[in-house]
Chain A
Amino acid sequence: MNILIIEDEYLIQQALKKILEKKGNNVIATDSGRDALEIIKSDKFDRIICDLMLKDITGFDVIEEAKNLFLPSQISSLFILMTAYSSPSVLSRAKSYNCKVLLKPFKSLDEATDIILGRLNEKD
């Protein structure tokens, strides 16, 4: 699986990259939403794990931009949002894209990687 991680906290980004690589995936990581948009344009990914609070733009901005490249149905299976802020407004906006949301910190790493790798059915 080709995975892109957009996360500006270096340790989280690198640890998650390594964890997913050890499970046999190709992982590219960036800390910038704008850079991520360039990467998405040139490379093909099966999953894009995107933090909501990035240093330049928000994860929602990334998705909005990505709408020019993908169909809504593709967006919902491609993007997984990651956030420490589980406020209702954040969750409902994520839901409007039909994207899965990973809450930081992960309650269980196994469960989180299952969601990333698509081994769990969508949960409401």
Chain B
Amino acid sequence: MENRINEESLNTNSPIKLETSKGLQSLPKGLKNQRPLNKELNSFLLDTLSSLHFKSMKCINFFYHLKGNASANSIRITKKEYKIKQVSIKSFRDATKLIKANKDLFNPHQVFKQNELKILGTFLAFDFSTPTHYFLFTIGREDFLDFTEEEVLQFKKFITFLPFQINLIFKNEYFIIHNALARNNVVKAPHQQAHLSFIHNEKMNLLGELLNTLKHELSNPLFGLQLSLELLQEEVFNSDELKPFIYEAKNNIARSQNIIENFSKLFSNTEALIEINIKKFTEEILTLTKSETRGVLKEINIEPNLSIYTYPSLLAQALFNLIINAAQAKATLIRIKAQLSKTRGKLVISVIDNGVGIPSEQLPYIYEAFYTTKSYGTGLGLYLTQNYIKILNGTLLYQAKEEPKETHFIMELPITGKI
């Protein structure tokens, strides 16, 4: 059998190319009768298993789970057999948990108990996720011997280049469409976009892990400091000279807590896609901004039946930030419009205010992190907003209008579901 994952492709940055037709021909006897879930995926897994680097390996298990589904799918491939089946979400979670419990994902894992997932003996594993799916990949010899350094090294190399290989899964879009059916017509991502967003996702996951650790490690000490300062403020300092220091220290702690909170939201994508009614949603967000927008006139111009599939907490945070920004720009009127742009297949939400606007010399910096012109700002509002919208696969545009003077922040979001 030809090994298409060759030395060269593992050692360079070039995407690994698989030829579909050959991939299918290389399926062993008996395999052809199986209903292929995804030819590309099948041949990719088979080629991986039969590549020289994994010549000692006997079995690959590949699991994928559409978030929110009650079951996960398993593909088990050995040199003799090939099986696709549904497994319970519990087995899938148990396996993921076991692998996650071992923080160094490159380390070999062992499952001694034979469970539904049929992972036997020592195996190498990794897991990853996209906004819609969780994936788990394991490879092993089905024995209990340790892996050699060389085997672990090859596995690391394999993972390093995985983004290109996973690209194969998305290549003919079959995989996405197949699972999206259950989600009631969630629109498939174009090939290139899926590929880029996958790499983007991996980065986000890594950053997410880092930020979670930071959040975990910093929240408690900050909270301790916060409580201590409350105590000091009440009791120790009756001195007018020193009071401002306590006050400022408290503000600084609050700001740090805010930054941690906002960043961790940015990089966690555990939420499920949900259908939301845009008008109701906007009204709810406006209620949340009540104290910040006191005295400001608000106008909502949204069709009552307009709805999309999206990640609500990200969209909420983005909309919330834009409204607060408008209010802080001393607006007396904030208008929120939403409409479908059918020609471009987008939902366009605009937050329009008649406040002071943004001076042109500041425009290049408005999306930069920690850039602010407000004495009380963190400089994260627009930076985070833009990133939330990026995660939603949308864009954020800025427009200024004269006569009447208006600032427009326009979110364009893909219509990822039925309207």
Contact = CB atoms under 8 A, between A and B. Distances in A.
B104 interface: no
A12 B235 CA distance: 17
A37 interface: no
Contact of A11 (B216, B225, B234): B225
Given A22-B235, A105-B257, A9 B230 contact: no
A54 interface: no
B223 A22 contact: no
A51 B234 CA distance: 25
B225 to A, nearest CB: 7
Interface residues of B, number: 16
Contacts, number: 44
A97 to B, nearest CB: 23
Among B216, B226, B257, residue most surrounded by chain A Cβ atoms (within 10 Å): B226
B220 A15 contact: no
B227 A19 contact: yes
A120 interface: no
Nearest to A110: B230
B115 interface: no
A106 to B, nearest CB: 8
B231 interface: yes
Among B225, B227, B235, B257, residue most surrounded by chain A Cβ atoms (within 10 Å): B227
Contacts of B257: 105
A16 B227 CA distance: 7
A12 B230 contact: no
A69 interface: no
Interface in A59-95: 84
A10 B235 contact: no
B221 interface: yes
A10 B225 CA distance: 11
B5 to A, nearest CB: 39
A12 B220 CA distance: 8
B228 interface: yes
B227 A11 contact: yes
Contacts of B226: 105-106
Nearest to B228: A15
A9 B230 CA distance: 17
B325 interface: no
B219 A18 contact: no
Nearest to A9: B220
B231 A15 contact: yes
A40 interface: no
Contact of B220 (A19, A84, A109): A84
A84 B260 CA distance: 12
A84 B223 CA distance: 10
B224 A12 contact: yes
A109 B234 CA distance: 12
Contacts of A104: 219-220, 223
B222 interface: yes
A104 B226 CA distance: 11
Contacts of A18: 231
Nearest to B254: A105
B317 to A, nearest CB: 15
Interface in A1-30: 9-12, 15-16, 18-19, 22
Interface in B202-246: 216, 219-228, 230-231, 234-235
A16 B226 CA distance: 10
Contacts of A22: 231, 234-235
A10 B221 CA distance: 9
A59 B223 CA distance: 19
A84 B230 CA distance: 19
Among B220, B221, B225, B235, residue most surrounded by chain A Cβ atoms (within 10 Å): B220
23 contacts: A9-B220, A9-B223, A11-B221, A11-B224, A11-B228, A12-B220, A12-B223, A12-B224, A12-B227, A15-B224, A15-B227, A15-B231, A16-B227, A19-B227, A22-B234, A84-B219, A84-B220, A104-B219, A104-B220, A105-B219, A105-B223, A105-B257, A106-B226
Which 9 pairs show the lowest CB-CB distances between chains A and B?
A: A11-B224, A15-B227, A105-B223, A9-B220, A12-B224, A15-B228, A84-B219, A109-B230, A104-B223
